[in-house]
Amino acid sequence: MFVQLDQLIGSGEDREWKKMARWIKFEEDVEDPPVEPLSFHSLLNLQHCLSKGVVLMDLEEKDLSSVAYRVVEQMAIDELIHEDDKAVLMRAILLRHRHIKDRTHGAFSFGPNRLYSSYTSLQNVNNINKSPRIVPASEINGYATPGETRININEETYTSSQEDIKMRTQKESILKRIPEGAEATTVLVGAVDFLEQPTIAFVRLAEGIPMPSITEVPIPVRFLFILLGPQKTELDYHEVGRSIATLMSNEHFHDIAYKADDRRELLSAINEFLDDSIVLPPGKWERQALLPFEELKAKSDKILLRKKKALDEKIKSKQPQLLTSEEEKKLLAASGGDSGGDGKKPPNPLEKTNRLWGGVINDIKRRYPMYKSDIMDALNTETLAATIFMYFAALSTAITFGGLSSDKTHNLIGISESLLSDSVVGMVFHLLAGQPLLIIGTTGPLVLFDEALYEFCTSNDFNFLTVRVYIGCWVAVIALLVSAFEGSVYVRMFTRFTQEIFSALITLLFIFETVITLVAEYARHPLLPEYKYNNTMDSQSLKMPCLQVTNGTNTTGMLSQNLTMLLNGTMGIPGDFNDLLIREDEGGLRNQPNTALFCTILTFGTFSLAYYLKHFRNSRFLGRTVRRALGDFGVPIAIAIFVLVDYMIPQVYTEKLKVPEGLSPSDETRRGWIIPLGGVPIWVPFVASIPALLMYILIFMETHIAELIVDTPERGLKKGSGLHMDIVLLCLLNTVCGFFGMPWHSAAIVRSVTHVAAVTIMSRTHAPGDAPHIVDVKEQRVSGFVLSLLVGLSVVMAPILRLIPMSVLFGVFLYLGIASMSGVQFFERLWLFLMPVKYHPQVPFVRRVRTWKMHLFTLIQISTLAVMLAVKSSPFAIIFPSFLIFTVPIRKQLEKFFSPLELRALDSSQPNDNAEDEPDFYEQVLNIPA
């Protein structure tokens, strides 16, 4: 519904209707469209006017003049106006309408052409000394007979300047915002000097009629509201006009207006509108004194809840005839009492079926019949664009975590294994999954688990890769057992309390890992007082270690001679020098000049650029599409730029990624593609079930939470989820990964959310002030399959991948750690320890919870986090996932010390901020680590 409010302005021959505002969903005048407040008194005045004024339903007229004629005649019949006022009132209704042009620099501009010649002084018409008779335009064919005044209304109505015609052609952008098939409501209000009392008319036409002279956009007019009255009155015409315009833009009210048979139903609809409204009492309003939006919404929900309870009582009393209002009937239909159909709700994946593997069976029955549409729905440009975009996102993370795995496992599992496993596991998963929009890959928690497992196996002299094979087998067994009893439903036990601790743990480990790596760089390449070398040496010679030279020696000549002898192999290397000289194929050089500083620059440069592009996404520079593209590609852009910086400065040594040629394992001297099962004690295959259970906890938590985030109703997915099926499929694939010595995989939450966003089509024609809504989501299997294939083919880029410095990847780890803090309430509450209470933000967990209890809740989380960090840093680091399970009973015990309202504020799954910026993908996943 398009609504336009015009107000009568000017005097004498300058009188005209001026457009004051328009509604598509919200009111628009000069400012951006907000939810404008209404005067409660004006709503009551509107209700009173409608109860006394003219109401014409389904009027069979075809033009404005005929409608005006019928309105004026009915006003005279109802004795709202005198007979002498009919002609002048009709001429006032048919005065020219002036529309406001498109804004320039945030202000209104007006056209210079105004057809004063088409105006007639109302005062002159009022002074006519005869009783006029109003004749419709269709009857104006001949001359006036004695006793009647004929007014040529067509000339008044449809005369317009060339400037107006040009203006209407510029309204295409407005038309795009109006839904197809929409109709218009025209509201005309103003003060005149010939009426003694306000007169009002509400008109609904039998069908929409184009009236280009009165509407800003060329859409048919279905409703007219006219309010004219004397200058001196207590009635605020403008506010009453705003009230009816706001009502007509309200979906529920205009639905009733379309169906109403008389004024009684309109008045009842106004009462329902008032019932759902919240009135602010008079006083001096300040921002701090007003309730936040969440609490206002909660109060509105309470009003709706009371109405539903009353409705339930009527239903229980088996007296549906007591439902008098349209809203009550609508609530009855929504509650299922009057559905009239046999439609079944889709099964809730978080509800048990009480059958063995019932959840898995339901997932298969629901998703596999749609397999053909999963292919056909991918044949569009949106899927192609999403595939290209996600390829770069998946490749950058595969390289990053592959490099980290290589570093933590001493190259037993590296880039080759990471790229190939991401490709094979991804392709199989997207072919068979119940929710193929999930992106599968190695994640931070799984890499850290492998690090702890490697250290454990090394300290106990176990074959690391062989132990992983048995762990993979046990993971599949555990997954099958858990899915048999539908254990996936228990993911709801992992509340925000647990998720925040898990997120904080991984975030801090990423940050600590980056800092520790930089410290190690300064240990391997310390900042020495002097680096002496021959300036004529080539870049290969610059990689030789510094020789200690005493003062007073011919340093240049001696150093040149010594290096020449070293290069020729004629000089023996002393023992202490052997400790400093480490060839690149044995782990890199040491004591290289400028290396530590340059690695610091690469690390913090990569982090800073990626983090800046993340925030640039919501800046005011460039267009929205360009900003989003730069923000979403921030990590690949940062990697590419600082790899180029490193490449342009070859004189400074930096450790690079170790990437073998072709399809070779990362270290062919220590492993092959098939991992042998022997070489471990006989009891290891059985004891491997313990770390397998710990790893299953990580995969369970990440994959299921990814499923729940992706399948939220707000994302508009229609084909269902694979909550029970996908975890089993992933664990079976991880078993295969174990046999080939490849990294573990789970659903990557941030990448999955990014993928869903990439295949989501948002509205471009939503109402101004309204948030873009989802038009369609391309739920298909092709984009995930193709991007996984492309990641696998990236092994041919080995020469390029070898150019990536490890310090650049650790800059990415630092970014992942810092970016994962966004939207995590735990970190927000940490800052409140250092902030005076009067400066605390007005958010629910501050307003609803006493300060000391809020800090107590945070301290409990800090204590749990400290225990997990201590365990992760101990020789028993491999058991750190088990502490995630222990947080569940801890959270249960908190119910004894915190009220349900306090826990809802502190442990709610909903974000507490109301930021205007569009959240990025890290903020959307809230409490889950990258």
DSSP labels, 321-355: GG--SHHHHHHHHHTTTT--S-PPPPPPTTS--SS
Residue 357: helix, strand or coil by DSSP? coil
Q: Which tokens is 743 given?
A: 């990294």
What are residue 188's DSSP bridge partners? Answer: 6, 226
Q: Which tokens is 742 given?
A: 């490849």
Burial of 135 (0-12, 13-18, 19+ CB in 10 A): middle
Specify the CATH architecture of the domain 2-275. 3-Layer(aba) Sandwich (3.40)
Phi, psi of 57 (to 5 degrees): -110, 140
The pLDDT score that the predictor gives to residue 560 is 41
pLDDT band at 909 (very low <50, low <70, confident <90, very high): low
Residue 626 has pLDDT above 50, yes or no: yes
Is the pLDDT higher at 845 or at 856?
856
Q: In the Cβ-directed half-sphere of 38, how many Cα atoms lie within 13 Å?
A: 24
Contacts for 822 with CB less than 8 Å, ≥ 6 apart:
919, 920, 922, 923
d(C-alpha 811, C-alpha 794), whole Å: 22
Q: Which residue, among 688, 708, 768, has the nearest Cα to 928 in the 3D structure? A: 708
Q: H/E element holding 184?
A: strand 184-191
pLDDT digits 0-9 by tens, 815-827:
878 877 776 788 8
Is the pLDDT higher at 67 or at 313?
67
Residue 35 has pLDDT above 70, yes or no: no
Phi, psi of 229 (to 5 degrees): -165, 180
Contact 770, 401 (CB under 8 A): no
The pLDDT score that the predictor gives to residue 574 is 39
Among the residue ranges 98-102, 420-424, 670-674, 863-867, the one predicted with the least confidence is 98-102
Averaged confidence pLDDT in the chain: 74
pLDDT digits 0-9 by tens, 510-544:
788 888 888 888 888 788 777 654 444 344 434 43
The pLDDT score that the predictor gives to residue 311 is 66
Q: Rounded to whole angstroms, what are the CA distances from 503 to 613, 827, 832? A: 22, 10, 19
Residue 374 has pLDDT above 60, yes or no: yes
In the block, tokens 């809203």 appear at 327
For the CA atoms of 61, 64, 66, 69, the dihedral, rounded to the nearest 10 degrees, stands at 130
Residue 551 has pLDDT above 60, yes or no: no
Contact 514, 507 (CB under 8 A): no
Residue 556 has pLDDT above 80, yes or no: no
The pLDDT score that the predictor gives to residue 540 is 42
Which one-letter DSSP state was computed for residue 107?
B
Region of 926 on the Ramachandran plot (φ > 0 left; ψ -120 to 50 alpha; else beta):
left
pTM comes to 0.66
The pLDDT score that the predictor gives to residue 771 is 60
Q: Which tokens is 767 given?
A: 């109402």
d(C-alpha 634, C-alpha 644), whole Å: 15
Residue 295 has pLDDT above 70, yes or no: no
In the predicted model, what is the mean pLDDT of residues 268-277? 80
In the predicted model, what is the mean pLDDT of residues 565-592? 45
Domain extents in the chain: 2-275, 291-334, 359-520+603-822, 546-580
The pLDDT score that the predictor gives to residue 269 is 85
- Kindly state the percentage of the chain with pLDDT values over 90: 4
Q: Which tokens is 138 given?
A: 């269709």
In the block, tokens 């192609």 appear at 384
The identity of residue 705, as a single letter, is: I
Phi, psi of 710 (to 5 degrees): -65, -35
The pLDDT score that the predictor gives to residue 27 is 59
Residue 389: helix, strand or coil by DSSP? helix
pLDDT digits 0-9 by tens, 76-108:
888 888 888 888 888 888 887 776 554 433 333
Contacts for 309 with CB less than 8 Å, ≥ 6 apart:
none
Contacts for 801 with CB less than 8 Å, ≥ 6 apart:
399, 415, 657, 659, 794
Q: Which residue, among 18, 169, 173, 30, has the nearest Cα to 96 in the 3D structure? A: 18
pLDDT digits 0-9 by tens, 397-439:
888 788 888 888 888 888 888 888 888 999 999 999 888 888 8
Choose from 98-102, 160-164, 236-240 the range with maximum mean pLDDT.
236-240
Contact 478, 732 (CB under 8 A): no
In the block, tokens 């840093």 appear at 873
Q: Which tokens is 31 given?
A: 């400012």
In the predicted model, what is the mean pLDDT of residues 197-209? 87
The pLDDT score that the predictor gives to residue 568 is 41
The pLDDT score that the predictor gives to residue 475 is 92
pLDDT digits 0-9 by tens, 713-744:
777 778 888 888 989 999 999 999 989 988 99
d(C-alpha 781, C-alpha 368), whole Å: 12
Residue 573 has pLDDT above 70, yes or no: no
